[in-house]
Each structure stands twice: as C-alpha cells, then as structure tokens.
Amino acid sequence: MSINWTDFTPMLSSLGGILIGFAALILMLAKGRIMGMSGILSGLLIPNSSTEFLWRSVFVAGVIAGPAILINFDLINIASTPVASGLLLYVAAFCVGIGTAIGRGCTSGHGICGLSRLSARSLCAVLTFVISGIITVSILRHVL
C-alpha cells in the first residue's frame, strides 16, 4: 500500500462531506426523513401518496440541479472518469440496486445518516459494503 498523494483532496472532500451533512440535517429538520438516496428512489417507484411522490421527486431534482449549477456557472471542474464499461457496468448497476434494496440503504443512508444516529445496523452495513468494495477492487486490479 502507498498513498496516492497526487489525487488526494482532503480539504475539498471534507468540505463536500460537510455539505452532505448539512443536506441530511435540512431533510431531517424539515421532513423528519433519513437522507438515503436508495430509499428515496425506492419510494419514488412505489409512492404511497402524492405528497410522498412530490418531496422525493423534488429532492431528486435538487440533486441533479446541484452539479448542473456548478457546471453551468463554471464554478468547479467536475472530473468523472468511468472505471467500468459494457456488461460489467450493468452488472454493477444491478448489484447496486438489488444490494441497497435488500441491505436497506447505501452510502448516504447508512454511511452518513445511520452512523450519525449511532445505528448498529448501519455500522454493520457500512463495514460490509466497504470491505466488499475493497475485495472487489483488489480482485479487479491485483488478481485478474
């Protein structure tokens, strides 16, 4: 193991994390909800009532509008280099979908909100998906 100093962005990443935290706080204070993207999406697919549909779709619209504004006003350069393509990309997409549904949460729901509520379930979920992610990347980069 060695540290990738060239790509390391402690300040920007901390700032991004702090903003993500504030977003979670606003949603909890306003709506009393956990800010978990997979849960919000899931609920959008089977809305219980029209108000459920409204807040979820408004949240999703905001998440898209955020980076769109940054790009439009040339505020920051958002780098995004894919690591997978073809079939592998869609296998990944399916795993992310089914996994977050069965595990009831993703990086935002378990990783930020769950850990901040001191949920033992979320701690287990985070440890599991980080370790599973590390094993996956290690096999792809260092075994295959």
Partner 1 sequence: MLAVLSVLFSGLIFGIGLSLAGMLDPTKVTSFLNILGKWDPSLGFVMLGGIIVTTLGYFFIFKRGKPLFEKDFDLPKKQKIDKSLIIGSALFGIGWGLAGLCPGPVIASLAFDPFGMFLFLLVMVIGLKFGNVINKLL
| Residues between 78 and 137 with contacts to partner 1, criterion CB under 8 A | 78-84, 88-104, 106-108, 110-121, 124-126, 128-137
Least CB distance to partner 1 at residue 85 (A): 9
Rounded to whole angstroms, the Cα distance separating 59 from 23 reads: 10
Residues between 15 and 74 that touch partner 1 (CB under 8 A): 15-35, 37-38, 41-42, 45-46, 54-55, 58-71
Least CB distance to partner 1 at residue 78 (A): 5
Least CB distance to partner 1 at residue 47 (A): 13
Least CB distance to partner 1 at residue 102 (A): 3
Regarding 144 and contact with partner 1 (CB under 8 A), the answer is: no
Tally the residues of the chain.
Answer: 144
User: Which C-beta is closer to partner 1: that of 47 or that of 94?
Assistant: 94
Tokens of 78: 């958002």
Q: How many CA atoms lie within 13 A of 40 on its CB side?
A: 23
Phi-psi group of 118: left, alpha or beta (phi > 0 → left; psi -120 to 50 → alpha; rest → beta)? left
Q: How many CA atoms lie within 13 A of 1 on its CB side?
A: 3
